[in-house]
Amino acid sequence: MAFVITHPCTNEKAGECVSICPVDCIVEGDNQFFIDPNACIDCGACVAACPVEAIISEQDLTSEQEEYLDKAEEFFE
């Protein structure tokens, strides 16, 4: 997985990331969007489009943000 959507998206769901994604790997969940770890091509378009700065690289996750990676993986199981 290249990018993870974190807490600023929770209940915000602005959605600019969905329309900019060239591979349609961002899907709406109940209270936030999720990036499909198997479909993401690591282009970074979603990062630039996110108005709440909720999308970060998996490598930059803090220990507190790791739960959002787990949520994304579970969402796409």
Please answer whether residues 55 and 5 qualify as being in contact, where contact means their C-beta atoms are separated by less than 8 angstroms: yes
* pLDDT of 6 strictly over 70: yes
Q: Residue 17 belongs to what domain range?
A: 3-75
**Over 80: is that where the pLDDT of 1 sits?**
no
CATH code of the domain containing 39: 3.30.70.20
Q: How would DSSP label each residue in 4-57?
A: EE-GGGTTT---HHHHH-TT--EEE-SSSEEE-TTT-----HHHHH-TT--EEE
**Measured between alpha carbons, how far is 74 from 69 in angstroms, rounded to an integer?**
9
Tens of pLDDT, residues 8-59: 999 888 889 999 999 999 999 999 999 998 899 999 999 999 999 999 999 9
- Per-residue pLDDT at 37: 84
Instruction: Give the model's pLDDT for residue 12.
Output: 87
How many domains is the chain built from? Answer: 1
3-state SS, residue 62? coil
